[in-house]
Chain A
Amino acid sequence: MDYFAQQLINGLVLGSIYGLIAIGYTMVYGIVGMINFAHGDIFMIGGFIALISFLMLVSFGLTAVPVILLIVLLVSMAITALYGWTVERIAYRPLRHSFRLAPMLSAIGMSFVLSNFSQVAQGARVKPVPPVITGGYTLHHSADGFVVRLSNIQIVVVLTTIALLAIFTWLVSRTRLGRDMRACEQDQTMAALLGVDVDRTISMTFVIGAALAAVAGMMYLLYYGLVDFFMGFVAGIKAFTAAVLGGIGSLPGAMLGGLAIGLIETFWSAYFSVEYKDVAAFSILIVVLIFMPTGLLGRPEVEKV
């Protein structure tokens, strides 16, 4: 029972990270109808930026951990958002009216560019970082000596996620930008005719998605203590699975899906086998897309003949 509880905690934390990435996928798919293959690598870039800025701040002599973390958060969000903006501008915008295949292949190309850029720029080896946030709370001592722990870093991840979700939900439902985004999702041409700056709205969608992915990257760095240039690929597919599971185009769905995937992955590793945990995630993607393509919270589509 305690083992289960621990896995539950771990799964929810992992799921929060996936959820943050999944939001980027679902927003982009909702507004331009494409799977942003490069989004997973944006997450990876976010992790690297967090790593490097963290290193810089520490070497400048800063010691106050909350200050460091806040600065790292803002810096990595800002720079990664710029990466997201640049990718959209260079590789997707010119193809917006092109054939359906073109943006996807361009995205795959961009994915290779980002991951290999990272490899070339920072070397192929995994980069470790010492634990920044330590300590935690012991929740329960079980009879056979197993300890259920809730670590501080886990609390930080979940709280950050909740805070960002709140800000972001406010953004989408209350601000002008959010309205524009929803309008473009429904009918781009009509939105343009009504005065919405479609280009800017789409750009902002990518920017926000990238910023959230950066947060996920930083959380990943703090939680697992390492980054490597290839972590975007598998995480990206899992996060996309989460977005589809929750219902593509639905923001609460993306978070829900993320939590679900995090839990499934954690429980699978704990109770079945660690080696095949990625296979489990990919299989879920296949199963969901075949049997439940609209996901848990999505809207069903009727084929127009």
Chain B
Amino acid sequence: MSGADHILSVDQLSMRFGGIVAVNALSFEAQRRNITALIGPNGAGKTTVFNCITGFYKPTGGTMRLASESGPIALERLNDFRISKQAKVARTFQNIRLFPGMTVLENLMVAQHNTLMRASGLTFLGLLGVPSWRAAEKRAIEHATFWLNRIGLYDRADDAAGNLAYGDQRRLEIARAMCTEPALLCLDEPAAGLNARESAALSELLLSIRAEQGTSILLIEHDMSVVMEISDHVVVMDYGVKIAEGTPNEVRDDPRVIAAYLGADEEEAIAVMESDN
């Protein structure tokens, strides 16, 4: 796609664990301000790709280039926390990782750690209670409150995060990631365990994030209703390789994708397609 503005360019990404090749020469691009979905059957290597992008694994090959405001960043060369801090890539996890013993508000405050650390003068100004620190803290609380309202948890701000209902925890995790003001938001199965109503609310939230914050979103998802509804671009993986990519409709009708999910061979899948039409 010439002239397109790619926020993330993954090129020949490979990840080996001992003898197992989890991801094999994967290449795709995510456009800025788009919602890109990464789908595929279980074990396809999607979370591995995420972990490479977000710095939890060091890929054994390939490059991942993030087009940030200050120029391109090679993600494969950054380690863990720097991916969030410098490259502004945020993520959520397949098994929710909140801070259960801290309140909802505290969770959102932790997300603004780097901003607040700078404002507190590496803690020393904060210890002294300097007015600029107090103002920064107030701003952080306001920012957190803004997101609390966005996800509808304003009334639960002082409750322990571990006490929230599952759906609320998922939304909180997303809000927490957004509090880091990321350029790219990576969501690992955000709709897992949500019922239809909650999935619809999630779709709405993600669409509004894209519209209002302009954040680019990359998500792994199994819930096809969410994928179909909100994705601009879909990349399909199976056994560690990309088998298809395109718009949601294109991918839905691709026989290779159907075969991968159904486990049937191509002729059967095509037969099913033709009988449908």
Contacts of A303 in B (CB 8 A): 56
Per-residue contact bits, chain B 8-23, to A (CB 8 Å; 1 contact, 0 not) = 0000000001000000
The answer to whether A305 touches B93, judged by C-beta atoms less than 8 angstroms apart, is yes
A303 and B17 alpha carbons, distance in the complex (Å): 12
Contacts of B145 in A (CB 8 A): none
Per-residue contact bits, chain A 294-305, to B (CB 8 Å; 1 contact, 0 not) = 000000001101
> Closest chain B residue to A303 by CB distance?
B56
The answer to whether A305 touches B56, judged by C-beta atoms less than 8 angstroms apart, is yes
B58 to chain A, nearest CB (A): 12
B111 to chain A, nearest CB (A): 18
Question: What is the interface size of chain B, counting residues whose CB is below 8 A from a CB of the partner?
Answer: 5
The answer to whether A302 touches B51, judged by C-beta atoms less than 8 angstroms apart, is no
The answer to whether B51 touches A305, judged by C-beta atoms less than 8 angstroms apart, is yes
Q: Which of B64-115 touch A at CB < 8 Å?
A: 93
> Closest chain A residue to B51 by CB distance?
A305
B55 to chain A, nearest CB (A): 10
B96 to chain A, nearest CB (A): 13
Contacts of A302 in B (CB 8 A): 17
Q: Which of A275-305 touch B at CB < 8 Å?
A: 302-303, 305
> Closest chain A residue to B54 by CB distance?
A305
Q: Which of B153-176 touch A at CB < 8 Å?
A: none
> Closest chain A residue to B47 by CB distance?
A305
A120 to chain B, nearest CB (A): 41
A305 and B56 alpha carbons, distance in the complex (Å): 8
Per-residue contact bits, chain A 180-222, to B (CB 8 Å; 1 contact, 0 not) = 0000000000000000000000000000000000000000000
> Closest chain A residue to B18 by CB distance?
A300
A299 to chain B, nearest CB (A): 11
Contacts of B51 in A (CB 8 A): 305
A303 and B55 alpha carbons, distance in the complex (Å): 13
> Closest chain A residue to B91 by CB distance?
A305
Per-residue contact bits, chain B 212-223, to A (CB 8 Å; 1 contact, 0 not) = 000000000000
A305 and B17 alpha carbons, distance in the complex (Å): 15
A152 to chain B, nearest CB (A): 48
Contacts of A305 in B (CB 8 A): 47, 51, 56, 93
> Closest chain A residue to B17 by CB distance?
A302
B68 to chain A, nearest CB (A): 23
A139 to chain B, nearest CB (A): 46
Contacts of B47 in A (CB 8 A): 305
Contacts of B56 in A (CB 8 A): 303, 305
A294 to chain B, nearest CB (A): 13
A23 to chain B, nearest CB (A): 28
Contacts of B93 in A (CB 8 A): 305
A61 and B56 alpha carbons, distance in the complex (Å): 69
A305 and B93 alpha carbons, distance in the complex (Å): 8
Which A residues fall within an 8 A CB radius of B? 302-303, 305
Nearest 4 CB-CB pairings of A with B: A305-B56, A305-B51, A302-B17, A305-B93
Instruction: Identify 6 residue pairs between A and B in the complex whose beta-carbon atoms are under 8 Å apart, listed by A's number.
Output: A302-B17, A303-B56, A305-B47, A305-B51, A305-B56, A305-B93
